[in-house]
Structure 1
Amino acid sequence: MTTARDIMHSGCECLGINETLTNAARRMAELNIGAMPVCGGDNRLKGIITDRDIVVKAIAKGRNPAEVKAGDLIGEAAVWWVDVNTDVDEVLHQMAEHRIRRMPVLDNENLVGIISQADLAAKLPEDKVGELVEAISSTSH
């Protein structure tokens, strides 16, 4: 059985809930990534913000990214995640059902990795990845 641990990108960094969007954007640029998990003071996953979130929810609305905190963008939306031992078919199902492009992976409530569409494309058969991309792309966000 292939699990989330087998396909995840490990070593992902967490953005602090009180870090500014300017810092978030800088870290994303340095890491060459488009999204970062956001963790609270307890180091527990609280949400994910993307570079698009920064642009659409802050900059486009005239908000100063040096003053807006990462926690301001994540709101009260549910945070979807999977356990490291979750079967890859269930990971695909959850990502398609919730129409998400990145799935955090937790081990005993600690963030240990993230699964992106690119991770799936690199490690799974094309037909499985195609179904996920179609499910995500066919719906509006």
Structure 2
Amino acid sequence: MKISKAMHEHADWVSADTSVSDIANLMEKDDIGAVPVGKDDKLIGMITDRDIALRVVAAGRDPKTTTAKDVMTEGIVYCRTNETVEDAIHLMDQKKIRRLPVLDDNKRLVGMLSLGDVAHSVGRDLSGELLHAVADHHA
């Protein structure tokens, strides 16, 4: 199955100078756990609810003055609409990530692919293997 058939369409992204407070509000409003971060019309990173918890709250930083670029995970791992869900599963497994931004042929963000999307798109065996791989217990 193509990623374009499994992904959530119309993903939002935020600019690198967006406050963490605004990002957390977006996450709450849209019921999401990760938001891509862009600068100069290019994706440069990802900020997750875990990034906010560990790099802002636990570190005692002010979410109103801390920006996405201050706490995001730099670099971005993504997939393309024309790839298969199996391709995405291998990438998620290899990188130990749970969400992938989806880019089209013009390198535009057109959606997000999550573990949940994968679970609804492929058989239990394959989605179970992915879940086990990315949720591997830390030693």
TM-score range, shorter-chain basis? over 0.9
Post-superposition offset of 1:63: 0.6
Q: Pick the aligned partner of 2:127 from 123, 126, 129.
A: 129
Counterpart residue number, 1:91: 88
Return 5+ residue gaps in structure 1 as ranges.
Answer: none
Matches within 5 A, 1:3-14: 3-14=2-13
Post-superposition offset of 1:59: 1.3
What is the alpha-carbon distance in structure 1 between the residues aligned to residue 45 and residue 137 of structure 2?
A: 21
Matches within 5 A, 1:82-121: 82-107=79-104, 108-121=106-119
**Number of positions where the alignment pairs a residue of Structure 1 with one of Structure 2:** 138
Post-superposition offset of 1:13: 0.7
Post-superposition offset of 1:78: 3.1
Percent of residue pairs bearing the same amino acid type: 34
RMSD: 1.5
Contact 1:44 1:111 in 2 (8 A): no
Secondary structure in 1 aligned to 2:101?
strand
TM-score with structure 1 length normalisation?
0.92
What is the alpha-carbon distance in structure 1 between the residues aligned to residue 89 and residue 67 of structure 2?
A: 31
Post-superposition offset of 1:139: 5.0
Runs of 4+ in 1 over 3 A off after TM superposition: none
What is the alpha-carbon distance in structure 2 between the residues aligned to residue 79 and residue 12 of structure 1?
A: 15
The answer to whether structure 1 residue 52 and structure 2 residue 65 are counterparts is: no
> 1:4 is aligned with what amino acid?
I
Counterpart residue number, 1:15: 14
Post-superposition offset of 1:15: 1.4
